[in-house]
Amino acid sequence: LYSISIEGGDVRCEGETTGLYYLTIWDGLMYWANDDDGRCLYRANLDGSEATKLTSNAVDSITVADGWIMYNDLGDYRLHMLNAETLEDHQLSLSGVYDPVISPYGIVGQDPTNSLHLCRTDLEGTAVNTIVDVRADDISVCEGYVFFTNKDDGNVYMVDIYGDNLIQL
């Protein structure tokens, strides 16, 4: 694991942590799936110290926001939310949403049951709603709009959170 300053200098080794996959940072800690350990979920300080294994199953699609670590558990193929403070795990009722993005509008991501089309669900994960019938990738949510790459044509689009006003950028 290496760090680098925003200006591009001060490159330094931050520890012997290897096999990082889906690395994300929140509140001074980093979270990742460890390729060297079957992609189990880990957490550590930014310098790689105090690494802690958080799951026994493999995970993917890790995202962290507002004190919650969201991930797909590849043992039960369900979407989970883990409280970053208490480490209490909550399984959501729906099957996984690939590459989930936590937003004020719910969870936005790819629907694995509908050809990876752009979808949205509430934070309880009770129902998945298709935003647009497009295979989406590189998803970001900002100010009520979803920005994504169309996996079929390679172009970048934006659409409002309800699926209206689709615009190619």
Distance from C-alpha of 69 to C-alpha of 139, rounded to nearest angstrom: 17
* pLDDT tens digits along 48-101: 888 889 988 888 778 887 788 888 888 887 788 888 889 898 887 666 677 778
Check: pTM over 0.75? Answer yes or no.
no
